[in-house]
Structure formats: structure tokens, C-alpha cells
């Protein structure tokens, strides 16, 4: 009964509500005049969710003839009463025809009823790293006497990354080509941690499990945890920063595992060679916006087996073919996955685009990715033009979300709770971290600003909680035993202290000034992603913004935008030709799980699409006219069709914005106008906005409105 979920149940609920004597249908209720939709609803009611529905793109819809009626009332699900909602009435009128009744269930599962997190009273467990110990975070000390006296106290391993000097993390293709020894040690190390016991906190299993399932504490004692989700932060200001120590934990594990293996080599000269290589082991990244390798999956990640050089029984280097640790992760046993929900409790290997027999089809993932390439580059470039850190973070997250969907294709990567088990997750996130570092380098004055909080495994949040740069990034501890905070990751030079850099924020710049780094990194951004620059001069950026309260539908759903053409069957092939971009809600992992109520939005550049179809230089009239009749939208909720007409909070808008580009390679373009929303493109279409408030001050599932967190810069801090 899913597909948009409440589309069918709302009808039933409406019946039960009216039988209870409540006004089910407000006065201005208008029957849906869209016959296709009506037919579909009937079908769904009767045949439930297995009916394949093809829907012609909507060309016009005459909903809301009562649009001019004032005031408009809408029902607030929690209160089960009618409440006056101020000002705009367009979509509220629409909303009253589709009361999200099942959302009442949601209300009981939102953060307000979650247990309040109480910090662990007993010390975390783990093992004592050399030179570090802890008693409790408030009375920690590193003196040798206390180390002795607390030796009986269970301790933890802090997340510190590699322990030697700074080395750049490399693009995986470059690593493979230019440093085969390091690459060899990386593969051996990854294989090693994939086969170490599930109980090892630094095994692939446990580290991946921090992100989502199996929802167990990692190096933390007993506490009041939210067992419905993992530690990761998505849709929040902490998205980029939380993942930084997370990646560092894997890097640390790989680094030490590589050393352990290198130490087995003989004779001494060979051992030294591989120990040196192990010292350089850093997490590689997958740049899905690279002008040369484009958005294709790195070939090595699609290869089932790989040839490595490893020590034989007496330490001599021998060549061997092993199952490729960055192609898939194989769980150790069925008990490793028995703690997962269905169907993940029967999936012994990670897969991308699995077929019916759970065979990998990474080639489909690769073509799905490539389909969005040119727009992805612009979206990536535009992220660097952000004027606040939170906007940058949200833009990168939006690009990142759709990649999870395109790579996963229903496999592990598609689901928040399981994605981190697929090794490509780490290469993907390493690139997100790299973009974060590059933004920090090019916008050194900007960083995380307060925004409404998102609850996680160790931090269930009561309403009105704020996330900011001093929010603890559980479960990661620094060398001194304190929790990581975003503030520890600013300025960008802090990454060198974690012994890594990127080619664009290189270790070699440790002795340079921030201004020199800014210039260097800006050059890189322009060279790599500035392909569409119109220089020098002012150009116009066209975007479509998609928006939804992620709590509206349980499970996961994506809104796809197509332009120029569209896949023959977007439900079967959502990333086919014509795919411009998408908003991916990132399923938690089960189809019945709601997320915390929160507005998520993405901005998708239309510039490369307009250029491709000959509208690059067209005037605004031609462009808006073209976009209006050409762009189409498809929503898939938990694998099934879903429609704007059935959604209360989903909206889209088209806006343009002027950008000035000096053409200098060491300067980024900047916005010279505010976004201008072309409501004449969207008005009258289901989901399309008529009024600005619909997109700037959108409605959430409970009927209240909120400025999306990323855009609320009332607390903007410019340092
Ligand atoms: C750094 O890590 C390596 C490999 O695990 C280890 O052999 C070495 O002792 C460590 N060095 C320090 C200073 O902790
Ligand atoms: C839509 O509105 C914009 C801005 O007012 C205008 O430039 C454009 O010509 C309009 N497009 C159409 C198709 O009416
Ligand atoms: C912006 O966020 C602050 C707290 O971070 C909150 O007090 C304020 O109401 C928000 N403003 C809007 C317009 O949502
Ligand atoms: C955010 O800040 C910028 C610059 O200070 C300002 O122009 C813009 O109106 C602000 N936006 C919001 C939503 O507060
Ligand atoms: Cu991710």
C-alpha cells in the first residue's frame, strides 16, 4: 500500500473521518478534474500497489478554481481541528483536497517522543591506544600516572587518521596509475578489514555500521539511543562535517592494516618498499564531476577480481587474484546480516543495480551516473558560488543524494542505513569531503552556522533543537578524548593535521598563506568544473528547485526532472536519456519508516540542458516558454509511481539568477542578482508554484511553514 503511501489510505481515512462527523471535505473542495489521475486512484484503491501505471506528462490541469477564496482553512493533523493558515491559499486549497491523514501516525514517531539522550555514565569501551587514556570526558587526563591508575578502565580508540606525515588523498584512477604500490597496499588493507571479525570496531563491518544499520553503539557505553537510525547526519548543517571524522576512521583502519601486512613481507628491502607504500595509504576519491573521467564509475570499482602482490607463507611477494574489496563487500556470515531488516538480512554481498537474482549490474550504475554528467558539473561548480556554508553544504548534499540513487539502483547504496557497506560509498564521500575542503579553501570566512537540528542514533533531538559548529559529532573522539565538533574542522588547514590533503588542497601548501591556498584552489575549481563559464561578463543561471518535506512519505522517494526528451518508461529507467537531475529523499532502508519532518530541497541547473537543446543564448521569453512545455517530472516512491497531485508538501519552481564572471582563473564568479522565480513557468501545473511563499516559506506535513534550514541565514556568521 505504499506508492505515495497515503494516496490510497487517505481516501479510506477520509471516509472514516466523515463518519466520525468531522468535516472531511472543506467547502472549497474541488474534485480532481484530471481523469488520468482519477483513474489511477481508482486502480490503486482496487488493486493496491502492483498496477503498473503509465501517465502521460501533464500538459494542463485546472485545479483550484476556488483559488481566490479567502481565507483558506486547512486541517492540522495533530490537533484534528481546522486552523486558519495565514496569507497564501493556492496550495492550501489543493492541500485541503488531500488531507494527509496517515500523518497522524507520524506525529507519534517524531523526535518529540524520542527519549532524550543522556550521555553514557559508564566509560566507553575499546582498547587503549599508545599514549592515550581516558576516565571520563570531563576529567580526562593524559599524565602517565593517571594512565596507570586508570588502566583497568575500558577505553576507546580515538579517530586520528594516519600517524605519519601529510599525504594527499588521490583520485582513484590517478592512484592506481601513479602509485601502484600504495594502491596494492590499499587493496590488501581493505580486504583485511573486510575479513576481520565483526566485533572489531575498526573492521569494515563496524565502521560501515556506524552510518546506519545495525543501529548499535560504536565505542560508546550504554545510553538512550534512537534505534531507528544510525549516527549519520543527513539534511542538516552537519552533513559535510560529520562525514569528515567518519572517513578518517576508515582511513586510520586502512593505514594500520596496510602496515600490518607490509610487515609480513620479506626480505627486508621488499618489506621497506611496502612499509613505505603503507605509509602513503590514504582513502582515494571518486570525482564524479571530473572533465576527463566524467561521471562513469571508476573502472576498478566494477571489476570483480583484482590482481595484487601479497606476502606468501615466508613473506616473499607473490602475485594473486583476489575478490576485489572495492567492487563489493561480502558479509562474513549470515549472522552478520541477521540483525538487518528484510530483505537486507538475506543479502550477503553489497550490490549495485542488482537484478532479480541479486547479481551486480554496476554497468547500469555507470550509465545512470553518466546520464547526469553535464548538469552535475554545473551543480558542483555552483556549489562553490554559495554565499553561506549551509547553502554550500545543502547543494553538495543534493548532488550527493542523487548519486546514491543512481549508483545504488535498489542496491545498498540507495539506502541510508546500508549504503556505507558498499565500498564505493567511501570513494563517493571522500569526494564530498574534498569538495568541502575546496570550499573551505576558497571561502575561508564561511562555515557551519546554526540551523534546526536533525536527530541521530546518539542524539535524538527534541523540537527546536539547533545544530551548530559545536554540536558533538558522535561517536568520534579526538586524541584528547573529547568528541569531534565541526569547529575542530575549521579552517581547512586542520585536514593537514589529520595527515591528509587533496591535490586541490595539497599538503605542500602547509607553509603557504590562506590567501595563496585560496588562489590555488580557485584555479583548480575553475579548471575542473568551470567549463560553462561565459567570460568575461554576466550570464544567467537557470535552475529548477525541487522541494518536499521528507516526512511526507515513509521509506524513500525521488523526484526526477527530464528535459529535451524523457526515458520511454521513467519508472523502469529513471536515469535514462533526458534525465536532468533529481531530488532524492534517501530511503532509510525500510519502506514504512518515516523521517523527521524537514524541508529538503535541491537546485538543479538547467543551463547545460538549455544549451544542449539550442536555448543557450535564447531570450527569457523563449526559455521560459520552452521550459514550461518541455520539462517533465516523475516521482517514484519506494519503487512505485507517485504524483504531485497526491503530495501535500512537494513543489517545484524555476528561477534564474545573474552571475558575473571576470574570466580570471583565480577568481570565482559571483551572483549579481537575487533569484527571480518565473512563476509563469510553473503556475497551474500540479506541484508547480504560483506564489513565492510556496517555495521560500514552504509548508511542512503538519501545516506549519518554515524557511528551509539551509536558507535561514538569520544567524549567519561571517568571520
Ligand atoms: C604509527 O602506526 C604504525 C602502523 O600501525 C605503527 O607501527 C607506529 O608505531 C605508529 N607510530 C606512532 C608514533 O604511533
Ligand atoms: C515569464 O515571465 C518572465 C519574467 O517576467 C518573462 O521574461 C517571460 O517572458 C515570461 N514567459 C512567458 C512564456 O510568458
Ligand atoms: C532561523 O533560525 C533561528 C534559529 O536558528 C530561528 O530562531 C529563526 O526563527 C529562524 N528563522 C526563520 C525565518 O525560520
Ligand atoms: C541571507 O543573507 C543574504 C546576505 O546577507 C541576504 O541577502 C539574504 O536576503 C538572506 N536570506 C535570508 C533567507 O535570510
Ligand atoms: Cu552519502
> For 236-288, what is the HEC assignment?
CCCHHHHHHHHHHHHHHHHHHHHHHHHCCCCCHHHHHHHHHHHHCCCCCECCC
What average pLDDT score do residues 398-406 get? 96
Q: Is residue 101 part of a domain?
A: no
The CA distance from 539 to 658, in Å, is 6
What average pLDDT score do residues 195-211 get? 96
pLDDT at 143: 31
Whether 499 lines ligand 1, by a CB cut-off of 6 Å, is no
Specify the DSSP element, H or E, that contains 168: strand 167-168
Tens-digit pLDDT profile for residues 245-300 = 999 999 999 999 999 999 999 999 999 999 999 999 999 999 999 999 999 999 99
Map residue 507 onto helix, strand or coil.
Answer: helix
Atom of ligand 2 nearest to the CA of 625: 13
What average pLDDT score do residues 595-618 get? 94
**587 — pLDDT class (breaks 50, 70, 90):** confident
- End of a domain among 526, 560, 588? 526
What average pLDDT score do residues 104-118 get? 30
pLDDT at 463: 82
Atom of ligand 4 nearest to the CA of 711: 13
The residues that bridge with 677 in the sheet, in sequence order, are 655
Tens-digit pLDDT profile for residues 23-63 = 222 223 233 334 334 433 433 333 333 323 333 333 232 22
Q: Is residue 162 part of a domain?
A: yes
The CA distance from 444 to 438, in Å, is 10
Q: Is the pLDDT of residue 672 over 50?
A: yes
**11 — pLDDT class (breaks 50, 70, 90):** very low
**617 — pLDDT class (breaks 50, 70, 90):** confident
Residues 553 and 619 in one domain: yes
Residues 460 and 387 in one domain: yes
Closest ligand relative to 388 C-alpha: 4
The structure's pTM equals: 0.82
For the ranges 46-60, 112-126, 335-349, the maximum mean pLDDT occurs at 335-349
Residues 581 and 690 in one domain: yes
Whether 149 lines ligand 2, by a CB cut-off of 6 Å, is no
Whether 707 lines ligand 3, by a CB cut-off of 6 Å, is yes
Question: Which of 615, 673, 680, 690 has the most ligand 2 atoms within 8 A of CB, as the residue to mutate?
Answer: 680
Residues 420 and 511 in one domain: yes
Q: Is the pLDDT of residue 444 over 70?
A: yes
- End of a domain among 526, 557, 588? 526
DSSP for 315-347, written as a single string: S-EEEEEEE-TTT--B-S-HHHHTTSPTTGGG-
Phi-psi region of 54 (alpha: psi -120 to 50; beta: other; left: phi over 0): beta
- End of a domain among 479, 501, 526? 526
Q: Is residue 105 part of a domain?
A: no
Question: Which of 392, 446, 713, 717 has the most ligand 4 atoms within 8 A of CB, as the residue to mutate?
Answer: 713
* Span from the CA of 712 to the centroid of ligand 4 (angstroms): 8
Residues 81 and 175 in one domain: no
Atom of ligand 1 nearest to the CA of 259: 4
What average pLDDT score do residues 335-348 get? 94
Residues 694 and 610 in one domain: yes
pLDDT at 227: 86
Residues 547 and 592 in one domain: yes
Residues 549 and 632 in one domain: yes
pLDDT at 285: 98
pLDDT at 138: 31
Q: Is residue 138 part of a domain?
A: no
- Pick the more confident residue, 99 or 589: 589
pLDDT at 108: 25
What average pLDDT score do residues 673-684 get? 95
Residues 416 and 517 in one domain: yes
Residues 617 and 516 in one domain: no
Q: What angle do CA 154, 160, 163 make, to 5 degrees?
A: 110
Domain span holding position 337: 158-526
Domain CATH for 285: 1.10.1280.10
* Span from the CA of 643 to the centroid of ligand 5 (angstroms): 26
Pocket of ligand 4 (CB under 6 A): 707, 711, 713-714, 716
Q: Which region among 26-30, 337-341, 558-562 has the lowest average model confidence (pLDDT)? A: 26-30
Q: Is the pLDDT of residue 212 over 80?
A: yes
What average pLDDT score do residues 537-565 get? 95
Residues 475 and 541 in one domain: no
Q: Is residue 130 part of a domain?
A: no
Closest ligand relative to 429 C-alpha: 5
Whether 680 lines ligand 2, by a CB cut-off of 6 Å, is yes
Number of domains into which the chain is organized? 2
Q: Is residue 150 part of a domain?
A: no
Tens-digit pLDDT profile for residues 77-91 = 332 222 223 223 333
Residues 611 and 566 in one domain: yes
What are the Cα distances from residue 300, in Å, to 286, 323, 425, 705?
Answer: 11, 12, 14, 46
pLDDT at 84: 27
pLDDT at 532: 64
Question: Which of 697, 707, 717 has the most ligand 3 atoms within 8 A of CB, as the residue to mutate?
Answer: 707
Q: Is residue 458 part of a domain?
A: yes
Q: Is residue 451 part of a domain?
A: yes
- Exposure string of 239-253, with b = 16+ CB inside 10 Å and e = fewer, is bbbbbbbbbbbbbbb
pLDDT at 3: 52
Mean pLDDT of the chain: 81
68 near 74, Cβ under 8 Å? no
What average pLDDT score do residues 398-424 get? 96
Distant-in-sequence, close-in-space partners of 166: CB < 8 Å, separation ≥ 6: 496, 499, 500, 501, 507, 510
**691 — pLDDT class (breaks 50, 70, 90):** very high
Amino acid at each position: 500500500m505504499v506508492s505515495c503511501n497515503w494516496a490510497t489510505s487517505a481516501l479510506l481515512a477520509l471516509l472514516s473521518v466523515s463518519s466520525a462527523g468531522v468535516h472531511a471535505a472543506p467547502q472549497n473542495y474541488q474534485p480532481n478534474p484530471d481523469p488520468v489521475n482519477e483513474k489511477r486512484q481508482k486502480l490503486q484503491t482496487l488493486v493496491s500497489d502492483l498496477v503498473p501505471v503509465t501517465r502521460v506528462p501533464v500538459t494542463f490541469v485546472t485545479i483550484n478554481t476556488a483559488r481566490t477564496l479567502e481565507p483558506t482553512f486547512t486541517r492540522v493533523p495533530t490537533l484534528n481541528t481546522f486552523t486558519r493558515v495565514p496569507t497564501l491559499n493556492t496550495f492550501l486549497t489543493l492541500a485541503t483536497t488531500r488531507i494527509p491523514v496517515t500523518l497522524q501516525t507520524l506525529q507519534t514517531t517524531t523526535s518529540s517522543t524520542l527519549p532524550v539522550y543522556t550521555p553514557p555514565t559508564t566509560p566507553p569501551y575499546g582498547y587503549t591506544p599508545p599514549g592515550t587514556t581516558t576516565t571520563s570526558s570531563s576529567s580526562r587526563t593524559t599524565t602517565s600516572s593517571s594512565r596507570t591508575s586508570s588502566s583497568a578502565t575500558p577505553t576507546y580508540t580515538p579517530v586520528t587518521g594516519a600517524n605519519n606525515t601529510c599525504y594527499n588523498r588521490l583520485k582513484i584512477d590517478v592512484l592506481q596509475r601513479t602509485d601502484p604500490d600504495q594502491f596494492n597496499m590499499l587493496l590488501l588493507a581493505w580486504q583485511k578489514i573486510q575479513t576481520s571479525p565483526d566485533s572489531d570496531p575498526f573492521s569494515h563491518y563496524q565502521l560501515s555500521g556506524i552510518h546506519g544499520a545495525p543501529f548499535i553503539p560504536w565505542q560508546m557505553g550504554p545510553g538512550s539511543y534512537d534505534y531507528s537510525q544510525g549516527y549519520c547526519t543527513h539534511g542538516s548543517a552537519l552533513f559535510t562535517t560529520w562525514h569528515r571524522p567518519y572517513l578518517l576512521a576508515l582511513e586510520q583502519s586502512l593505514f594500520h592494516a596496510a602496515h600490518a601486512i607490509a610487515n609480513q613481507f620479506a626480505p627486508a628491502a621488499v618489506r621497506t618498499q611496502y612499509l613505505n607504500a603503507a605509509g602513503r595509504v590514504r582513502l582515494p576519491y571518486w570525482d564524479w564531476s571530473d572533465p576527463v573521467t566524467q561521471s562513469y564509475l571508476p573502472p576498478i570499482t566494477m571489476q570483480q577480481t583484482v590482481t595484487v602482490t601479497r606476502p606468501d607463507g615466508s613473506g616473499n611477494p607473490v602475485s594473486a587474484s583476489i575478490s576485489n574489496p572495492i567492487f563489493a563487500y561480502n558479509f562474513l556470515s549470515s549472522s552478520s546480516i541477521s540483525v538487518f531488516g528484510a530483505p537486507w538480512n538475506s543479502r550477503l554481498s553489497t550490490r549495485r543495480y542488482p537484478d532479480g537474482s541479486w547479481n551486480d549490474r554496476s554497468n547500469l550504475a555507470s550509465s545512470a551516473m553518466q546520464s547526469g554528467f553535464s548538469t552535475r558539473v554545473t551543480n558542483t561548480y555552483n556549489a562553490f558560488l554559495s554565499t553561506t556554508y549551509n547553502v554550500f553544504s545543502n547543494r553538495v548534499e543534493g548532488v550527493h543524494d542523487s548519486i546514491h540513487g543512481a549508483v545504488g539502483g535498489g542496491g545498498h547504496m540507495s539506502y541510508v542505513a546500508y549504503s556505507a557497506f558498499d565500498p564505493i560509498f567511501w570513494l563517493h564521500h571522500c569526494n564530498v569531503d574534498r569538495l568541502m575542503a575546496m570550499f573551505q579553501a576558497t571561502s575561508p570566512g564561511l562555515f557551519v552556522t546554526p540551523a534546526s537540528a536533525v536527530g541521530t542514533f546518539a542524539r535524538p533531538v527534541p523540537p527546536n533543537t539547533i545544530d551548530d559548529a559545536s554540536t558533538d559529532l558522535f561517536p568520534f573522539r579526538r586524541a584528547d578524548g573529547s568528541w569531534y565538533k565541526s569547529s575542530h574542522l575549521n579552517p581547512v588547514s586542520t585536514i593537514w593535521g589529520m595527515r591528509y590533503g587533496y591535490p586541490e588542497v595539497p599538503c605542500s601548501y602547509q607553509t603557504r598563506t590562506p590567501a595563496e591556498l585560496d588562489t590555488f584552489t580557485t584555479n583548480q575549481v575553475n579548471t575542473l568544473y568551470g567549463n560553462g563559464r561565459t567570460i568575461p561578463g554576466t550570464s544567467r543561471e537557470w535552475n529548477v528547485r525541487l522541494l518536499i518535506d521528507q516526512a511526507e512519505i515513509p521509506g524513500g522517494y525521488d523526484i526526477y526532472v527530464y528535459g529535451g526528451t524523457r526515458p520511454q518508461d521513467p519508472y523502469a529507467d529513471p536515469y535514462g536519456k533526458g534525465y536532468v537531475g533529481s531530488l532524492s529523499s534517501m530511503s532509510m532502508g525500510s519502506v514504512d519508516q518515516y523521517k523527521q519532518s524537514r524541508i529538503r530541497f535541491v537546485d538543479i541547473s538547467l543551463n547545460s540542458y538549455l544549451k544542449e537543446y539550442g536555448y543557450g543564448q535564447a531570450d527569457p521569453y523563449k526559455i521560459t516558454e520552452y521550459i514550461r512545455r518541455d520539462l517533465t517530472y516523475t516521482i517514484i516512491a519506494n519503487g512505485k509511481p507517485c504524483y504531485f497531485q497526491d503530495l501535500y508538501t512537494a513543489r517545484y519552481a524555476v528561477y534564474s539568477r545573474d552571475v558575473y564572471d571576470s574570466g580570471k582563473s583565480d577568481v570565482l564568479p559571483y551572483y549579481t542578482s537575487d533569484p527571480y522565480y518565473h512563476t509563469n513557468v510553473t503556475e497551474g501545473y500540479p506541484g508547480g508554484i504560483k506564489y513565492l511563499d510556496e517555495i521560500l516559506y514552504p509548508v511542512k506535513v503538519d501545516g506549519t511553514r518554515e524557511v528551509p534550514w539551509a536558507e535561514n541565514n538569520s544567524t549567519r556568521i561571517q568571520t
